[in-house]
Chains A and B, each alone.
Chain A
Amino acid sequence: MNPTQELSQTNGTHGAHPLSDDVASFYHLRHGEYAGKACQGTACFAAQHLNPERWAEAMRNNPRVYCLGECFASPAKGQTQPRPPVRICSKHGIVLGRIAAGGARSVAAYVKQGGYAAVTKALAGTPEQVLAAVEKSGLRGRGGAGFPTGRKWRAVAQQPPGVKYVVANADEGDAGAYIDRYLMEDDPHSLIEGMILAGYAVGAAKGYIYVRTEYPLAGSVLRGALVEARSEGWLGPRVGGTNFAFDIEITVGHGSYVCGEETSLLRSIEGKRPEVMARPPYPTERGVFNRPTLLNNVETLVNVPWIVNNGGEAYAAIGCSKSRGTKALSLNSLFVRPGLYEVEFGVTVRHIVEELGGGLRDGGKLKGVLIGGPIIGIVPAHLIDTPLGFEELGAIGAGVGHGGVVAFDEHTSIPDLVQHVFSFGSYESCGKCTPCRSGSGRVEKIFDRALAGSATRADLQECRDLVVALKLASLCGHGTGLARFAESILKYYPTEIEPCFK
């Protein structure tokens, strides 16, 4: 026998990771405590006047439940498994096409709609061809940061051959976003196909899907889909009858918003305390189990089969400026027509609010929109002519984020909103870096006082200082996102904030 072969076996094993007590204490929904509970996510906050009793109930929950992915019917309670309306408002239904057509939970239904053709095509060619198509497409990460997907894939592909991983970030925790949930529940094979393509392109044989525990149906649909994909030969040692081996495992979260942050998510898969890790090293170099890891959001991966089938150029032809392709958006219950929409980048926020959403219900007056929030800058009513684009929204302090669109009307008091967002931010902080661990809670407390009428001008100055520290010195996007939110509020709604501080 070859002794060095034996060696790699000796050292290359990873056991299962039952949570140790200290790690378990990080999470707040280890035992499914979200089940049947009212939600206090930002979309439900914005819609609290529609059902004040339910909102009051939500606020009493301990542990808290933030976003169940039913924001089109908020304030939401429990997992009622409703289906949101779905509309394709772009030339191609790249992301939501199959769901709009009734969904495709089985391999047969998926193949009937053209599914797994991209894998077949890719496996007939080289990994480099898949990589090149993704690079050409101009696809950017749909999870919030908008990082060029092709560049990330290239970085992993360029790592020396060896064990690599593909991880799908299905921890869609941004309150107001429910895109990935319905993609996984109604079109699971599109994610699986995207992951297979990613694995082929970067040289990985193993994938993980990290699903938040608040999406139990997504988890069970995916599990079924994986079993079926394996039996149909799309996963396993011989994908599509070739020598390419790829399989996927599902990891379910235990209740923690910050686990959607990439380093935290990877540590959570490993069973470690999911605190955010300083970068570098980036996951592309040292990710899960210290191996090169490609981590993409669900929607990002779902775009890939279309890109492989139609070519990167075709994808790049859609969209505007540096934001190419389409974006799925989820509109909250304050709109006349809430639901899932697929649009091309470049449409204005006004178009989204007025044309797609049909304006606010009950004749409500738009006060602002949080896109991809709440840990992001707000779009005030007077700037809704800004086009949907990473740079365009970034220029006004907002962002594309995850694509959740939460509108606020005059029922929402801005100081209340600040208190709500910082309460959420501080509750979900991992606790590693000083500004976020202590600063977010401090801002929350100051706004508690502001709402009670006992805050001073000095408190407001302290808030401003804390926002600067959060913005400049936070370890991850959780803290900087809170700062962006607060900055946009202080900038666009001074008349609502300043009177609270005497």
Chain B
Amino acid sequence: MFQVTINGTSHALPEGLTINQALQRIGLEVPDLCNDDRLQPYGSCRLCSVEVKDMGALATACNTQIRDGMEVLTDSPTVRGVRRTLLGLLAANYPAEAVAEFPDKEFHRYLRQYDVKAGGTRATPQPAVPFMKDASHPYINIDMSQCVTCFRCVRICEEVQGQFVWKAWNRGGETRILPVRGETLLDGGCVSCGACVDTCPSGALEDLTVLARGTPTEWTKTICSYCGTGCEVEVGTRDGAITTIRPSPGGPSNHGHTCVKGRYAFDYVYAEERVTSPMIRRDGEWQDVSWDEAIAYIAGRLGEAVARHGPDSVGILSSARGTNEENFVAQKFARVVLGTNNIDCCARVCHSPTAAAMKMTLGTGAATNSLDEIALARTIIVCGANPTEGHPVTGARIKQAALHGANLIIVDPRKIELCDYATLHLQLNAGTNVILFNAMGATIVEEGLVDEEFLRTRITEYAEYRDFIREFAPEKVEELCGVPAAKIRQAARLYATAKPSLSVHGLGMTEHIQGTEGIMALVNLALLTGNIGKPGTGINPLRGQNNVQGAPHMGCEPKLMAGYVPIEKVRTQFEAAWHGPVPTNPGLNMIEMLEASLAGKLKILWAIGYDIVMTNPNTHETRRAMEQVDLVIVQDLFLNATAREFGDVFLPASSSFEKDGTFMNGERRIQRVRGAAKPRGQARNDWEPLCDVARAMGRGKEMSYGSAEEIWNEVRSLWPEGAGISYARLDQLGGLQWPCFDENDPGTPILHVDTFTHGKTTALRRIEFVPPPELVSPEFPFILTTGRNLYQYNAATQTSRTPSNRLHATDYLQISPGDATRLGLSEGDMVRLSSKQGAAHLPAQISGNVKPGEVYTTFHNARVFLNQITTSHRDRYTKTPEYKITAVRVEKLHAPVPAALAH
């Protein structure tokens, strides 16, 4: 400890602090403009200058370390005088109007505090070297006449987002902050994350919504409702309406960062077409009804179906967008009220293979490590994921890790943005994941790179694996998987020796017929090299939706109960708690429900926040199945494709800004969701109508909750690994990672440290390669793969109803330049994309990012409706659809573009 005298009082402070950190500890503050805890200290504004005895000049608190015996004066007349002079310089031509209109901006507060007047007005003419002014971005207003040259936008774009869009140009008094190229932010490659706006201390960069709707008067801390990163955000409201969102500085998964979706794409809440009243379709027409009528109608129909056809004639699809509490209630409703295990959620179409594979191999079907450890890894392998678009905050962290020297290996058939920062890009043929990971395994074994200690203590069946894997030597399989053997070997060496090595993966791994097996092949690599159970290692699925980890974990899985455990393992506990039986019939998953419907066995489908018609592959088949269902209940914000085409009852749902509960992010962290605004109209939380229907069906006793917290307390009473996660602790600590067994348990950032969940050791799996059934043919000569775009989200139910549409208006078909030439395609030409299943129309985008013979598109646009062409092939273990591979034909559309597609 150092003794430091601050303003005459002596303090004992730990070594290694800056003066600023020391001041924070003792509750003192000095003004600063260039400082932001997310950034490296920079020392440019000089406002935090303090007097330090025996130093010639003043010291800047932001970057001066404390010394033992140091004497600091933070508010002496000299210090105040210098600060006043500096503020005077910054304010000399500054528009006074801005100070009056936005009194809470950091810079404006300092001007008041030091009694410095802004010397300019909005009418002050531009100087010879003009300031940038631009309002062309859909979300961000730029008026650099308010720039105080703190460089925070430049630095946060570089140090946090890694985009390098803002740059300081010129020098001296002519220094201007401008995009790296072009006239606008978007010209400069901006990804609209808003970090620059968030850090700007003066309002030179400002959210357009704040300018239009005013500064928020209230802030509510909650969790972003897009991807599974689980960013903690603060929602700003004014007169009960959302005006802006900012990252929460303490967010454990995002550390004060967001992406364009999390920060800006919230206006769908106020979209005109949002349905805010329950509706029943009668004679083909939707009619508003009261909640009572809707509930009575549903209860009647359900009771009838259960009585006549048995409980398994009903299926419930719950939502990975909803809270844990809502999902728990949905599965309990199915099991307790209806008496069926026909409960599933949209995890079925994404990471079910991950959960299954990791459950089998490691004992827990969830990420082994935490996002923070990306910064600790020396090697990061990204498999079948495009994090800078699908999981932008995580993507930004991976990029920073690479910029700071980590080896980055990208496994993807397509060149993604992270490839620019990567040591290696293994551009494999789509569908050959198993071959590639086996070949890496073969290299590790052959070159003696196995972690011997880990092998001895934690692994079984090594000899069998060793004999099996020889056949996958890189030189033997390079042609099949499309990656040169030397590259495979180099990747294996890096992963095995430049440790710790961490793996993240996405749906490019899971949405294959060998999805589950591909993950097991990847897990083998972590086991062989001991890259598990240690900081900076592990197998870490990037979960696609805010609560896709939580929804199945709450029991929205036909075979599993809350805690992701098989029904039979916990039947006794649940039946005791619920005072009744848990059904014994095997439940149907979503795919099986549709199959049952085709067979005439499924009479009622209740889809909560799940647009199956739009998102299921092979729409034609989905429609055929849906036609057979007698009653379709849709609970959503909007009349989605499922509701439009097949809905009978519509229940208006509340958005995640309008509800309480918890989400579980991709790193097993439970975090609190808090309502920032009242539900619009008659919209309600998803769990409420379920409980009402239960009551109407005479089962109100088991389904009676006063709050989300009550539901959660039931969850943790039944799920030992979550028992320690109370709302009180979440409010206090801001998020806990399970396992967390009691209220003194700090949670578990890293799994499998000394033992796997199912025992001390685990076996290496011998995974044979099974070729994808979709093969190119003269009729369908291209392989289509699919993915997400930064600006849109999945079915775009939300994002298409926000200004993000201006940033990504349509899906494009990416095609390699050679293939485009051969087909006579120019950029933007409309093409007809067809498969055995159907056809879609969309514009072509010529891109070197895709290999010849492969084409790629995103799947957000309801007009394109891509799933009309995807296939019915399924993962061999979990039935997850093989979205990632479809044999297609691409034809230039010579006829005029259909009006519905014009944009």
Chain A residues in the interface with B (C-beta under 8 A): 3-4, 6-7, 10-11, 20-22, 25-26, 256, 258, 273, 275, 278, 280, 426-435, 437-442, 465-466, 468-469, 471-475, 480
Contacts and interface: CB of A to CB of B under 8 A. Distances in A.
Interface stretch (B37-45, B651-659, B665-673, B795-803): B37-45
14 contacts: A7-B494, A10-B407, A22-B178, A25-B171, A256-B171, A275-B168, A429-B172, A434-B90, A435-B86, A440-B172, A469-B46, A469-B86, A472-B78, A473-B57
Given A438-B89, A438-B90, A472-B49, A431 B168 contact: yes
A278 B63 contact: yes
Given A429-B173, A431-B175, A278 B60 contact: yes
A3 B448 CA distance: 11
B85 interface: yes
A410 B498 CA distance: 70
B391 interface: no
Given A434-B89, A438-B89, A442-B89, A426 B46 contact: no
Nearest to A4: B497
Contacts of A432: 44, 151, 175
A20 B164 CA distance: 12
Contacts of B173: 426, 429, 431, 437-438, 440-441
B44 A475 contact: yes
Nearest to A281: B63
Interface string B88-117: 011010000000000000000000000000
Nearest to A8: B498
B494 A22 contact: no
A427 B172 contact: yes
Of A4, A432, A439, A471, the most chain B CB neighbours within 10 A belong to A432
B174 interface: yes
Contacts of B89: 434-435, 438-439, 442, 466, 469
B172 A25 contact: no
Contacts of B172: 426-431, 437, 440-441
B167 interface: yes
B57 A480 contact: yes
Given A432-B175, A437-B173, 13 more contacts: A3-B497, A11-B405, A22-B180, A275-B168, A280-B63, A427-B172, A430-B172, A437-B175, A438-B173, A439-B89, A472-B57, A472-B78, A480-B57
B557 to A, nearest CB: 42
B773 interface: no
B58 A473 contact: yes
A3 B496 contact: yes
B356 to A, nearest CB: 33
Contact of A434 (B45, B167, B171, B497): B45
Contacts of A428: 172
B171 A26 contact: yes
Sorted from nearest, which 6 A-B pairs have the closest CB atoms?
A278-B43, A431-B175, A22-B167, A438-B89, A429-B172, A3-B493
B3 interface: no
B42 to A, nearest CB: 7
Nearest to B43: A278
B549 to A, nearest CB: 34
A21 B182 CA distance: 11
A26 B78 CA distance: 33
Contact of B82 (A437, A440, A469): A469
Contacts of B86: 434-435, 439, 469, 473
Contacts of A21: 180-181
B171 A430 contact: yes
A475 B64 CA distance: 12
B85 A6 contact: no
Interface string B55-89: 00110100101000000000000100110011001
Interface residues of B, number: 45
Nearest to B492: A3
Nearest to A466: B85
A233 to B, nearest CB: 35
B534 to A, nearest CB: 18
B81 A465 contact: yes
A326 to B, nearest CB: 28
B82 A468 contact: yes
Contacts of B180: 20-22
A426 B449 CA distance: 59
A278 B41 contact: yes
Contacts of B78: 468, 472
Contact of B498 (A4, A426, A440, A473): A4
Contact of A10 (B42, B63, B423): B423
A273 B49 contact: no
Nearest to B379: A7
Nearest to A436: B172
Contacts of A433: 43-46
Nearest to A11: B405
Contact of B171 (A429, A435, A468, A472): A429
A11 B421 CA distance: 11
B849 interface: no
A431 B496 CA distance: 46
B174 A431 contact: yes
Task: Pick from A26, A427, A431, A480 the residue with the most CB of B within 10 Å.
Answer: A431
Contacts of B65: 280
B169 interface: yes
A11 B378 CA distance: 11
Given A22-B167, A466-B85, A7 B407 contact: yes
B43 A431 contact: no
B425 to A, nearest CB: 13
Contact of B46 (A7, A11, A434): A434
Given A20-B180, A426-B172, A11 B407 contact: yes
A205 B45 CA distance: 37
A472 B82 contact: yes
B490 interface: yes
B58 to A, nearest CB: 5
Contacts of B497: 3-4, 7
Most chain A CB within 10 A, of B85, B90, B405, B496, is at B85
Contacts of B748: none
A434 B47 contact: yes
B744 interface: no
Contacts of A472: 49, 57-58, 78, 82
A431 B170 contact: yes
A268 to B, nearest CB: 12
Given A10-B407, A438-B92, A468-B85, A22 B46 contact: no
A259 to B, nearest CB: 10
A473 B46 contact: yes
A465 B85 contact: yes
A456 to B, nearest CB: 16
A243 B65 CA distance: 41
Which of A10, A20, A428 has most chain B Cβ within 10 Å? A10
Contacts of B785: none
Contacts of B178: 22
A283 to B, nearest CB: 16
A273 B167 CA distance: 9
Contacts of A480: 57
Given A22-B178, A431-B168, A3 B90 contact: no
A273 B176 CA distance: 13
Contacts of A11: 405, 407, 423
A15 B427 CA distance: 25
B149 interface: yes
Interface string B473-508: 000000000000000001001101110000000000
Contacts of B45: 433-434
Contacts of A465: 81, 85
A469 B85 contact: yes
A475 B43 contact: yes
Nearest to A275: B168
A256 to B, nearest CB: 7
Nearest to A480: B57
Contacts of A473: 46, 49, 57-58, 60, 82, 86
